């Protein structure tokens, strides 16, 4: 009988031996005293290879006394992980900052050191710094990159169907109609399973042309405008009007499905962000980019430029000197040149011009010409309370596409939610 | 297998025919269930040998000449530290199972065997633990680990998982210890055995319970993502589940590598279950019935 | 008989190690988090507000709306597990104990249990692909419809975890002493009668145990919904269960600021619901089973 316990005994013994070897391995690796290792916590898992093989080596070459560990956490878990670690004093030395409200809450909780004294900060305009300033107006994160929103289109399909790149909403709709009438391709690769995609890549991309970009956004913040104003309703209506051109079963299609559909050459247009240039061109399709069309010919054009990543200094870091050296470097043109070259689809936020080697990146950057820039609508101040306008927009836009909720009703619901807590700033 | 013995007795042809019918139905149903259980998993395995285009172009097709690739597996072994991840998961799971089984068995034995006034209180205290949402305690737990100097180590994970699994282990082991015949223990005590010796005599009888506890413990521990993410995130301490996450991007994932990593990550538990289940099933037919 | 002093000493020796780990790494951290639910720390400081957060949770129209929605969804999530997982698990267990099986028994047992060993990441990926309107075998957007999304996810979860009730019930059936079964067989009971009149009452306590464990696991459930739909599970929160509501509130998301106090409040309420229901179950149902057995 007792011999039958042998398997358990083996598990215990094996566990103990591997456990011991594991512990001893874990304690090693402090290295020689001269080199300081700092950890860079961020949510860009896809970029790990690029940072580790190109960006960080460039820094380490210039600063051999510092080593940087790239610690990426998938974006869904990022806030939870960073908050738990920083609250308990175990956070990474430098931390990638979410833009606007979430970061403002982090600054308020004392997660970051003030970066006012860093010289590289002067390489950025106040607009570039705005997404990461505290209540005191000081910068808390070094701006790394912004992203742009637009529409990728399959040039081969456009040529085959004799379509031209749309500049007005009327032309856009007429293109979509023609693709649908032809029946061979899905006009618009867009699914509603991921609410954020509806908000960031569609409404906040075409919407600024309706609500005049910053005029509309800042109007909501200072309380002179309401989400129920005709401009905002018209934007949501234009969003709702795209419904006939979506793929079948769009209600349960996620963002990843959409990009697969597009890169397999089965969809003509995909509303997306510049961050996806690598993925969009991965299968070698002939691809172009166009900006959100204006409402009427001759209108001023607005383009969504979203501050995406900044990097802040953990207030509880034990390696502040080295971390500051790294942050200073992240603010230089040297870094920006390497970064936009190696990580295409992300744009430098500095005042100095940097060239883009990636063709699509350059095309995206060209969309800025003649356009007034504006960030996503709901992330600045309007999402600092409950219900956060941003999350609320995701869910409401899903109901517009899936359940046929009218644009008016949708905007009314959002405004009611906002009114329940938001006090306009002066 | 005493249950089969009477059916071997010679009977009429009609009975034998209906027996064959039963056998047919039983196998048929089990085969259907097995297909429902396994076929979806094969989809993952098949697709792990395909290119991204192949996966989404025809997800249920076998890899063909133009879609077959080992790139996913190559990425797993070159890009990540998959071997290290594997070892970490193995250490954490094995030590947690060992600790949970050892401590849980001891506690359950004592609660059942040494009845005192506060016994129901101790039982209740452990049972409440089955219901606790332990994730809520993350920040205080981190602070504890910091003060014990255990941050970013595997022992941190082991301690948390053991604490998480102990309540259910104690509750389950108690039900098994209750079925150990009193005469057996009393006889041993009469012979002058001390309490540790008595426990030693009882343990073989609760072997199925131990195997059950081990199998229940291994599942959430091997597959957990949250605690490795917070308590042992550095490269040398990553577990398999956390390592797999590196192939999940913010916007775009490396699907062949993701599927390859998921396939490789699933194998150890399947093997472990096969071993453990044989243990507790054998234990059952030996311990009871005959 | 063992002396009382000895009993206490033995109890201490055997129980204390388990108790220490359980208290230090589970009970205490949780308690110190639960304490948060009695404070308001939103404006930098930390003020004691007694049950203020609880009042807020149940009176604020937005938050209470989300809470009741999540509670309803959790009940549905549990109900589907109960309705599908237990009967099918029992059927599997009964088939596995069938006398006609010989060497194939172990193979079936392992195959049926394999899904339970998988991580939710695989489960989510598999089923999303299979029921995807673009690539899969179902053209209806099961996960995109507010009426079908939660049942669909629940069934995915059932698919994954059904091996656990199966193995519990299977071991319980195996543990039934053969002489009892033989006696009734000789009395001329049909296999059907044998199962429901003799075997089932004997495994009823196991059945009860699995019911309550399923209840606890589904009410604390989080992983599968999170893996499929993230922390604000759509469409329009139709798959939001208590676990995801807690996570989203306590940890925030890329577009939502974390609220530790309210998150701790929600977790405490979830725990309270589970505790009360479980206690009620043990008092009422377990007693009934005992009288039934007698």
Instruction: State the CB neighbour count (10 A cutoff) for residue A300.
Output: 11
Least confident of A152-166, A185-199, A352-366, B4-18: B4-18
Going C28 to B225 to C241 to C160, the CA torsion angle's sign is: negative
Q: How far apart are CA A286 and CA A284, in angstroms?
A: 7
B161: Cβ–Cβ under 8 A, 6 or more apart, which residues?
Answer: B92, B96, B100, B217, B220, B221, B224, B227
- Residue of C134, C231, C236 lying closest to A257 (CB–CB): C134
- Residue of C30, C92, C122 lying closest to B136 (CB–CB): C30
Using DSSP, how many helices (H) and how many strands (E) does chain C show? 16, 2
Chain B contact set for A7 (CB, 8 A): 275-276, 279
Per-residue confidence (pLDDT) for residue C256, from 0 to 100 = 78
Instruction: Considering only the C-alpha atoms of chain A, give the largest distance between any 2 of them, rounded to a whole number of Å.
Output: 90
- Residue of C131, C143, C257 lying closest to A384 (CB–CB): C257
8 Å CB contact of C252 and A252: no
CA contacts within 13 A on the Cβ side of A15: 21
Beta carbons of A326 and A66 less than 8 angstroms apart: yes
DSSP, residue by residue, A144-200: EEEEEEEEEEEHHHHHHTT-----BHHHHHHHHHHHHHH-SSEEE---SSSHHHIII
Q: Measure Cα distances from B51 to A254, A260, A280 in Å.
A: 20, 12, 16
8 Å CB contact of A388 and C257: yes
Helix axes C104-113, C86-96, angle to 10 degrees: 160
Q: Which of C285 and A35 is assigned the larger pLDDT?
A: A35
Instruction: State the CB neighbour count (10 A cutoff) for residue C136.
Output: 18
8 Å CB contact of A386 and C63: yes
8 Å CB contact of B56 and A74: no
- Residue of B38, B139, B284 lying closest to C171 (CB–CB): B284
C4, C9, C26, C159, best to mutate vs chain B, most B CBs in 10 Å: C26
Per-residue confidence (pLDDT) for residue A408, from 0 to 100 = 97
CA contacts within 13 A on the Cβ side of C156: 28
Q: How far apart are CA A126 and CA B200, in angstroms?
A: 74
Beta carbons of A353 and A283 less than 8 angstroms apart: no
B149 in the Ramachandran plot: left (φ > 0), alpha (ψ -120 to 50) or beta?
left
Distance from CA of A353 to the nearest CA of B (A): 27
C5, C14, C159, best to mutate vs chain B, most B CBs in 10 Å: C14
Q: For a pLDDT cut of 90, what percent of chain B falls above it?
A: 37
- Residue of B7, B163, B195 lying closest to C99 (CB–CB): B7
Q: Which backbone phi and psi does A37 adopt, to 5 degrees?
A: -105, 125
* Mean pLDDT (whole number) for C10-39: 93
Q: Does C187 touch chain B (CB under 8 A)?
A: no
Beta carbons of A317 and A323 less than 8 angstroms apart: yes
Q: Is the ipTM of this complex over 0.85?
A: yes
8 Å CB contact of A391 and C256: yes
Beta carbons of A292 and A205 less than 8 angstroms apart: yes
The answer to whether position B274 is within a domain reads: yes
3-class secondary structure, C180: helix
Q: How far apart are CA B92 and CA B86, in angstroms?
A: 10
8 Å CB contact of C95 and B134: no
Beta carbons of A210 and A238 less than 8 angstroms apart: yes
8 Å CB contact of A29 and B236: yes
A220-232 pLDDT, tens digit each: 999 999 999 999 9
- Residue B210, judged by CB atoms within 10 A of its CB (0-12, 13-18, 19+), counts as buried
Chain A contact set for B138 (CB, 8 A): 84
For all residues of chain A together, what is the average pLDDT? 90
Distance from CA of B131 to the nearest CA of C (A): 6
Which residue, B240, B245, B248, B239, is CA-closest to B267? B240
* Mean pLDDT (whole number) for C209-217: 91
Per-residue confidence (pLDDT) for residue C168, from 0 to 100 = 86
Residue at token pair 């070259």: A341
8 Å CB contact of B248 and A45: yes
Q: How far apart are CA A40 and CA A20, in angstroms?
A: 29
Domains and CATH numbers, chain A: 36-145+308-357 (3.40.190.10), 148-304+375-419 (3.40.190.10)
The answer to whether position B54 is within a domain reads: no
B256-271 pLDDT, tens digit each: 888 998 999 889 888 8
Beta carbons of A411 and A227 less than 8 angstroms apart: yes
Q: How far apart are CA B173 and CA B202, in angstroms?
A: 12
* Mean pLDDT (whole number) for B41-68: 89
Joined together, the tokens standing for residue C288 give 């009934």
- Residue of A4, A19, A43 lying closest to B250 (CB–CB): A43
Joined together, the tokens standing for residue B72 give 């996913």
Chain B contact set for A44 (CB, 8 A): 250
Chain A contact set for B275 (CB, 8 A): 7
CA contacts within 13 A on the Cβ side of C154: 25
- Residue B235, judged by CB atoms within 10 A of its CB (0-12, 13-18, 19+), counts as middle
**DSSP 8-state symbol, B12:** -
Does the structure show a pLDDT above 50 at A93?
yes
* Mean pLDDT (whole number) for B197-212: 88
Q: Taking chain A, what is the end-to-end CA distance rounded to the nearest angstrom?
A: 81
Does the structure show a pLDDT above 80 at B10?
no
8 Å CB contact of A79 and C254: yes
A277-316 pLDDT, tens digit each: 988 988 889 999 999 999 999 999 999 999 999 999 999 9
* Mean pLDDT (whole number) for C198-223: 89
Beta-carbon contacts below 8 Å between A and B? 131
Q: Does B265 touch chain C (CB under 8 A)?
A: yes
* Mean pLDDT (whole number) for C111-126: 90
- Residue of C13, C15, C271 lying closest to B131 (CB–CB): C271
8 Å CB contact of C140 and A249: yes
C58: Cβ–Cβ under 8 A, 6 or more apart, which residues?
Answer: C64, C67
**What stretch of H or E contains A9?**
helix A6-27
Q: Taking chain C, what is the end-to-end CA distance rounded to the nearest angstrom?
A: 27
Chain A contact set for B230 (CB, 8 A): 81, 84-85
The answer to whether position B63 is within a domain reads: no
Instruction: State the CB neighbour count (10 A cutoff) for residue C191.
Output: 13
Joined together, the tokens standing for residue A266 give 């089965």
Q: For a pLDDT cut of 70, what percent of chain C falls above it?
A: 95
Chain B contact set for A281 (CB, 8 A): none
Beta-sheet pairing, A267-273 with A371-374: unpaired
Per-residue confidence (pLDDT) for residue C5, from 0 to 100 = 87
Q: Does B71 touch chain A (CB under 8 A)?
A: no
A10: Cβ–Cβ under 8 A, 6 or more apart, which residues?
Answer: none
Q: Taking chain B, what is the end-to-end CA distance rounded to the nearest angstrom?
A: 10
The answer to whether position B21 is within a domain reads: no
For all residues of chain B together, what is the average pLDDT? 85
Distance from CA of A233 to the nearest CA of B (A): 29
Residues belonging to chain C with any Cβ–Cβ distance to chain A shorter than 8 Å: 44, 60-63, 128, 131-135, 139-146, 149, 226, 229-232, 234-237, 247, 250-259
Chain A contact set for C258 (CB, 8 A): 79-80, 83, 105
The answer to whether position B284 is within a domain reads: yes
B58, B67, B102, B251, best to mutate vs chain A, most A CBs in 10 Å: B251
Tell how far CA C212 is from the center of its chain.
8
C11, C16, C18, best to mutate vs chain B, most B CBs in 10 Å: C18
- Residue of C63, C144, C237 lying closest to A193 (CB–CB): C144
Chain A contact set for B248 (CB, 8 A): 45, 74
Domains and CATH numbers, chain C: 56-292 (1.10.3720.10)
Per-residue confidence (pLDDT) for residue C287, from 0 to 100 = 65
Does the structure show a pLDDT above 90 at B138?
no
- What is the number of domains present in chain B? 1
- The rounded radius of gyration (Å) of the Cα atoms in chain C is 23
C146-169 pLDDT, tens digit each: 999 999 999 999 999 999 999 889
Neighbours of chain A (3+ CB pairs under 8 A): B, C
Beta carbons of B90 and B103 less than 8 angstroms apart: no
Distance from CA of B272 to the nearest CA of C (A): 10
The answer to whether position B194 is within a domain reads: yes
Q: Which backbone phi and psi does B158 adopt, to 5 degrees?
A: -60, -45
Q: How far apart are CA B256 and CA B252, in angstroms?
A: 12
3-class secondary structure, B41: helix
Q: Residue B224 sits in a domain of what CATH number? A: 1.10.3720.10
- Residue A376, judged by CB atoms within 10 A of its CB (0-12, 13-18, 19+), counts as buried
The answer to whether position B7 is within a domain reads: no
Q: How far apart are CA C125 and CA A288, in angstroms?
A: 31
Q: How far apart are CA B109 and CA B121, in angstroms?
A: 15
A110 in the Ramachandran plot: left (φ > 0), alpha (ψ -120 to 50) or beta?
left
Tell how far CA B173 is from the center of its chain.
16
Joined together, the tokens standing for residue C33 give 């988090």
The answer to whether position B31 is within a domain reads: no
Per-residue confidence (pLDDT) for residue B246, from 0 to 100 = 79
Q: How far apart are CA C221 and CA C209, in angstroms?
A: 18
Range of the domain at B95: 84-255+270-289
Distance from CA of C59 to the nearest CA of B (A): 23
CA contacts within 13 A on the Cβ side of C284: 7
Distance from CA of B162 to the nearest CA of C (A): 7
Residues 52-81 of A with CB under 8 A from B: 69, 71-75, 77, 81
CA contacts within 13 A on the Cβ side of A14: 13
Q: For a pLDDT cut of 70, what percent of chain A falls above it?
A: 92
B141: Cβ–Cβ under 8 A, 6 or more apart, which residues?
Answer: B160, B231, C25, C29
B254 in the Ramachandran plot: left (φ > 0), alpha (ψ -120 to 50) or beta?
beta
3-class secondary structure, A74: coil
Distance from CA of B19 to the nearest CA of C (A): 8
Residue at token pair 């309706």: A210
Q: How far apart are CA A382 and CA A411, in angstroms?
A: 14
- Residue of C144, C149, C236 lying closest to A395 (CB–CB): C236
8 Å CB contact of C251 and A252: no
Joined together, the tokens standing for residue C148 give 């079908």
Per-residue confidence (pLDDT) for residue A220, from 0 to 100 = 96
Q: How far apart are CA A27 and CA A23, in angstroms?
A: 7
Q: Does C159 touch chain B (CB under 8 A)?
A: yes
Beta-sheet pairing, A66-72 with A287-290: unpaired
Q: How far apart are CA A362 and CA A367, in angstroms?
A: 9
Which chain C residue is nearest to residue A396, measuring alpha carbons? C236
Instruction: State the CB neighbour count (10 A cutoff) for residue B275.
Output: 14
Beta carbons of C197 and C189 less than 8 angstroms apart: yes
* Mean pLDDT (whole number) for A181-185: 95
């Amino acid at each position: 009988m007792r011999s039958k316990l042998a398997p358990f005994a083996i598990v215990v013994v094996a566990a103990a031996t591997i456990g011991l070897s594991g512990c001893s391995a874990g304690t090693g690796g402090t290295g020689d005293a001269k080199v300081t290792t700092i950890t860079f916590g961020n949510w860009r898992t896809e970029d790990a290879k690029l940072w580790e093989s190109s960006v960080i080596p460039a820094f380490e070459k210039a600063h051999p006394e510092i080593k940087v560990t790239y610690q990426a956490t998938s974006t869904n878990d990022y806030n939870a992980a960073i908050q738990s670690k920083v609250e308990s004093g175990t956070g990474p030395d430098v931390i990638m900052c979410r833009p606007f409200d979430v970061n403002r809450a982090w600054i308020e909780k004392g997660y970051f050191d003030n970066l006012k004294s860093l010289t590289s900060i002067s390489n950025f305009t106040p607009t570039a710094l705005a997404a990461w300033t505290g209540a005191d107006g000081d910068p808390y994160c070094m701006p790394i990159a912004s992203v742009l929103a637009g529409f990728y289109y399959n040039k081969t399909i456009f040529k085959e169907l004799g379509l031209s790149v749309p500049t007005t909403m009327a032309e856009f709709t007429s293109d979509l109609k023609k693709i649908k009438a032809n029946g061979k391709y899905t006009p618009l690769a867009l699914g509603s399973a991921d609410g954020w995609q509806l908000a960031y890549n569609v409404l906040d991309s075409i919407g600024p042309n309706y609500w005049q970009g910053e005029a509309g956004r800042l109007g909501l913040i200072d309380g002179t405008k309401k989400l129920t104003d005709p401009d905002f309703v018209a934007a949501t209506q234009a969003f709702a009007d795209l419904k006939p051109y979506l793929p079948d079963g769009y209600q349960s299609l996620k963002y990843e499905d959409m990009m697969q559909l597009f890169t397999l050459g089965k969809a003509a247009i995909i509303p997306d962000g510049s961050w996806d240039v690598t993925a969009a061109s991965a299968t070698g399709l002939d691809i172009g980019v166009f900006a959100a069309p204006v409402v009427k010919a001759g209108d001023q054009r607005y383009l969504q430029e979203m501050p995406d990543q900044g990097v802040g200094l953990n207030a509880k870091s034990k390696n502040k000197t080295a971390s500051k050296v790294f942050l200073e470097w992240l603010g230089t043109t040297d870094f920006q040149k390497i970064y936009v070259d190696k990580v295409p689809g992300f744009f430098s936020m500095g005042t100095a011009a940097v060239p883009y080697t990636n063709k699509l990146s350059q095309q995206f950057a060209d969309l800025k010409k003649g356009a007034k820039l504006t960030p996503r609508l709901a992330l600045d101040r309007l999402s600092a309370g409950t219900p956060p306008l941003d999350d609320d927009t995701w869910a409401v836009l899903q109901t517009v596409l899936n359940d046929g909720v009218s644009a008016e009703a949708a905007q009314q619901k959002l405004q009611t939610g906002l009114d329940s807590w938001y006090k306009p700033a002066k | 297998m005493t249950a089969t013995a009477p059916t071997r007795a010679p009977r009429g042809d009609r009975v034998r025919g209906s027996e064959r019918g039963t056998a047919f139905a039983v196998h048929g149903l089990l085969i259907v269930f097995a297909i429902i259980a396994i076929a979806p998993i094969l989809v993952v395995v098949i697709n792990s040998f395909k290119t991204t285009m192949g996966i989404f172009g025809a997800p249920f097709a076998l890899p063909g000449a133009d879609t077959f690739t080992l790139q996913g597996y190559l990425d797993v072994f070159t890009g990540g530290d998959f071997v290290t991840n594997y070892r970490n998961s193995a250490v954490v799971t094995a030590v947690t199972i060992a600790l949970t089984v050892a401590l849980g068995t001891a506690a359950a034995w004592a609660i059942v065997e040494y009845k005192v006034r506060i016994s129901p209180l101790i039982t209740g205290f452990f049972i409440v633990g089955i219901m606790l949402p332990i994730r809520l305690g993350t920040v205080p737990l981190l602070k504890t680990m910091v003060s014990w100097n255990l941050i970013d180590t595997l022992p941190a994970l082991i301690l948390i998982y053991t604490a998480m699994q102990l309540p259910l282990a104690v509750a389950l082991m108690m039900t098994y210890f209750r079925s150990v015949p009193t005469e057996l223990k009393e006889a041993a005590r009469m012979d002058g055995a001390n309490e540790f010796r008595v426990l030693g005599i009882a343990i073989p009888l609760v072997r199925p319970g131990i195997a059950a506890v081990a199998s229940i413990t291994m599942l959430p521990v091997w597959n957990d993502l949250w605690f490795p993410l917070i308590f042992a995130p550095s490269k040398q301490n990553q577990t398999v589940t956390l390592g797999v996450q590196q192939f999940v991007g913010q916007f775009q994932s490396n699907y062949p590598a993701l599927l390859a990593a998921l396939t490789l990550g699933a194998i150890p538990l399947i093997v472990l279950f096969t071993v453990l289940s044989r243990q507790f099933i054998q234990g059952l037919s030996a311990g009871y019935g005959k | 008989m063992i002396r009382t002093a000895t009993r206490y000493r033995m109890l201490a020796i055997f129980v204390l190690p388990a108790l220490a780990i359980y208290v230090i790494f589970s009970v205490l951290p949780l308690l110190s988090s639960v304490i948060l639910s009695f404070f308001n720390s939103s404006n930098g400081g930390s003020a004691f507000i007694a049950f203020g957060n609880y009042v807020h949770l149940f009176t604020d129209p937005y938050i209470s709306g989300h809470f009741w929605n999540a509670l309803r969804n959790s009940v549905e999530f549990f109900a589907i597990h109960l309705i599908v997982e237990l009967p099918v698990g029992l059927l599997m267990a009964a088939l596995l104990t069938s006398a006609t099986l010989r060497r194939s028994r172990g193979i079936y047992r392992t195959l049926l249990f394999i899904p339970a060993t998988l991580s939710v990441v695989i489960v989510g990926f598999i089923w999303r692909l299979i029921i995807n309107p673009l690539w899969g075998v179902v053209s209806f957007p099961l996960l995109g419809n507010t009426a079908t999304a939660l049942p669909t996810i629940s069934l995915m979860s059932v698919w994954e975890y059904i091996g656990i009730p199966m193995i519990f019930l299977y071991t319980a059936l195996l543990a039934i002493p053969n002489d009892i079964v033989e006696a009734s067989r000789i009395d001329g009971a049909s296999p059907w009668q044998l199962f429901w009149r003799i075997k089932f009452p004997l495994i009823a306590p196991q059945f009860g145990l699995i019911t309550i464990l399923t209840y606890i696991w589904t009410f604390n459930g989080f992983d599968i919904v999170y893996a499929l739909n993230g922390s604000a599970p759509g469409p329009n929160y139709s798959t939001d269960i208590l676990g995801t509501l807690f996570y989203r509130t306590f940890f925030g998301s890329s577009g939502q600021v974390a609220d530790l106090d309210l998150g701790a409040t929600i977790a405490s309420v979830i725990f309270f619901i589970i505790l009360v229901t479980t206690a009620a179950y043990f008092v009422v149902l377990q007693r009934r089973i005992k009288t039934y057995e007698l």
